[in-house]
Amino acid sequence: MSKGAEQQTDYKALRELGVKHVTKGVGRITEGIMVKGEGSYVRYDDGRHMLDFTCGIGVTNLGHANERVSRAAADQCLELVHAQCSIALNEPYLRLIERLLPVMPHASLDSFFFWNSGSEAVEAAIKMARTLTGRQNVICMQGAYHGRTYGAMALTTSKTIYFQGTGPLMPGVFTTPFPFWHHFNVAPTTSPEVLTEQCLAQLDLLLAQQTAPRDTAAIIVEPVIGEGGYVPAPPAFLQGLRDVCDKHGMLLIVDEVQSGFGRASSAPGRLFAIEESGVRPDILLLAKGLGNGFPISAVVSWRGLTDRLKPGSMGGTYAGNAVSCAAAAKVLEVFKEDNILDNVAARSNQLVNYLNSLKQDPALAPYILDVRGSGLMIGVEFATPTSSFKNDVAIVPGAPPNMASRVAKKCIDKGMLILTTSVYEVIRFIPPLNVSEADLKKGCEIFAEAVREVVKQG
Ligand SMILES: Cc1ncc(COP(=O)(O)O)c(C=O)c1O
């Protein structure tokens, strides 16, 4: 039997093992086993070679198995894998801080705590906010996603699937609208000024009616809401949140787990989405792209605040793992060496122009409601023929049903991984930040073909 045939047999058995023994609680958009990642592509056990516009949900921003990042991790593996942050500092941990300090979106951000996942970073931020303000309540945005652990889940309002049947959740959470036209059921063309005004008025009302400022520890916000529909916050909204926090002594927690590290860069030189607004976060949360696939998250704050934390109150067995820190330090080096943010700006223009040209195509125009986003965090929202939301502004009679999931499925069948997002009909583009012009064009063409086929089928 040839080696290839042997492997085929092994993979078949492994697939069956996976189907039987991996918890049904995990959903997947493709079948089979991913066996190799190469830049913008992944390969499956059955030979499928797929263009990956998911980046493992916004993680492998410098491409799969980026050689310099993987080599840095491999080298660190042979030096020191696990130091444990409560036992001793480790060099990659400190090198990472050294590289992060000059690129932080605000010079005040000078105190770091590393953990493994975005959810853990959110947990740490809630704990810090409650401890440091002596207040309990936290305000989150409608449509937010902050993770699947209990505190993070309580702050998640993008879909009920993440928490239904699991209550009671962490108490003291209040939700306020995000400047997304859906939240007011108004046209996608509604101006950011109007949406911002409405949202800030609702926030004031929330503070007057439901959670008094003296009981409110923090406001948490994603500068580009991810699982809620890929919607950037207008800078004036973020500035308004900062003002409210300053006025009432609350902390502003900015969750850039998905939008950070160039993903939602609004201009060359901007590594973080919050930079466009000039707003200073009290606590900045990072993960995903930080390690390009190695598990690491960061909770960044300012020393005046964190110097008040009791030693031992923060920690975790794997917090700030040396291998993940070495990989993350290299990520920042690659960003510089390869001028990644310039590519984000160029490819973002290419993608948005292409999607807008589809939106103007008379055959598709009625069914493409919105093209939005920032950098290479771009969403396309389709119309829907019916909706469970009363008088939904997204209803267009005659539109094909379930467009987002049908388009995504067709893209996958045609060789491109792509995801939907939110409770609306939204496809999200999360290509690698170093994707080539040719691969981006290829992805756009696959998407267009899929949209045309779905529209034709009705
Ligand atoms: C904005 C945001 N915050 C937090 C999280 C949770 O991160 P993790 O899945 O690493 O726990 C995510 C994950 O998608 C996210 O997008």
Domain boundaries, the chain: 3-62+340-457, 69-337
Would strands 283-286 and 251-255 be described as parallel, antiparallel, or unpaired? parallel
For residue 4, pLDDT beyond 60: no
Cis peptide, bond prior to residue 168, ω within 30 of zero: yes
Write the pLDDT tens digit of every residue in 237-272: 999 999 999 999 999 999 999 999 999 999 999 999
Helix (H, G, I), strand (E, B) or coil at 375: coil
Report if pTM > 0.95: yes
Structure tokens at 86: 């409560």
Q: How far is the CA of 125 from the centre of ligand 1 (A)?
A: 13
For residue 44, pLDDT beyond 50: yes
Asked if residues 305 and 133 have their Cβ atoms less than 8 Å apart, the reply is: no
For residue 6, pLDDT beyond 70: no
Q: What average pLDDT does this structure show over 306-318?
A: 96
User: Which atom in ligand 1 lies closest to the alpha carbon of residue 57?
Assistant: 14
Write the pLDDT tens digit of every residue in 412-444: 999 999 999 999 999 999 999 999 999 999 999
When the candidates are 3.40.50.450, 3.30.1540.10, 3.10.180.10, 3.90.1150.10, the CATH number that belongs to 3-62+340-457 is 3.90.1150.10
Q: What average pLDDT does this structure show over 322-350?
A: 98
Q: How far is the CA of 405 from the centre of ligand 1 (A)?
A: 21
For a ligand 1 pocket test, name from 57, 60, 115, 258 the mutation site with the most ligand atoms within 8 angstroms of its C-beta: 258
Q: How far is the CA of 145 from the centre of ligand 1 (A)?
A: 7
**Radius of gyration in angstroms for the set of CA atoms belonging to the chain, rounded to a whole number:** 22
User: What's 146's DSSP letter?
Assistant: -
User: Which atom in ligand 1 lies closest to the alpha carbon of residue 288?
Assistant: 10
Q: How far is the CA of 391 from the centre of ligand 1 (A)?
A: 31
Helix (H, G, I), strand (E, B) or coil at 240: helix
Helix (H, G, I), strand (E, B) or coil at 342: helix
Helix (H, G, I), strand (E, B) or coil at 217: strand
For residue 2, pLDDT beyond 50: no
Helix (H, G, I), strand (E, B) or coil at 254: strand
Q: Token match 């970073």: residue?
A: 121
For residue 3, pLDDT beyond 80: no
User: In angstroms, rounded to a whole number, what is the distance separating the alpha carbons of residues 322 and 324?
Assistant: 6
Q: Which residue, among 302, 310, 316, has the nearest Cα to 117 in the 3D structure?
A: 316
Angle between helices 322-337 and 91-100 (to 10 degrees): 30
Q: How far is the CA of 79 from the centre of ligand 1 (A)?
A: 30
Q: What average pLDDT does this structure show over 42-47?
A: 96
Write the pLDDT tens digit of every residue in 80-132: 999 999 999 999 999 999 999 999 999 999 999 999 999 999 999 999 999 99
pLDDT of residue 8: 55
Q: What percent of the chain has pLDDT over 70?
A: 98
Structure tokens at 217: 């520890």
User: Which atom in ligand 1 lies closest to the alpha carbon of residue 258?
Assistant: 16
For the sheet containing 368-374, what is the strand order? 368-374, 377-382, 426-429, 419-421
User: In angstroms, rounded to a whole number, what is the distance separating the alpha carbons of residues 318 and 113?
Assistant: 12
Q: What average pLDDT does this structure show over 305-329?
A: 97
Structure tokens at 436: 């080539």
Q: Token match 């699982």: residue?
A: 227
Residue nearest to atom 13 of ligand 1 (CA): 147
How many Cβ atoms sit within 10 Å of the Cβ of residue 40? 23
Residue nearest to atom 3 of ligand 1 (CA): 146
Structure tokens at 222: 């994603």
Helix (H, G, I), strand (E, B) or coil at 35: strand
Tell me which fold the domain 69-337 belongs to: Aspartate Aminotransferase; domain 2 (3.40.640)
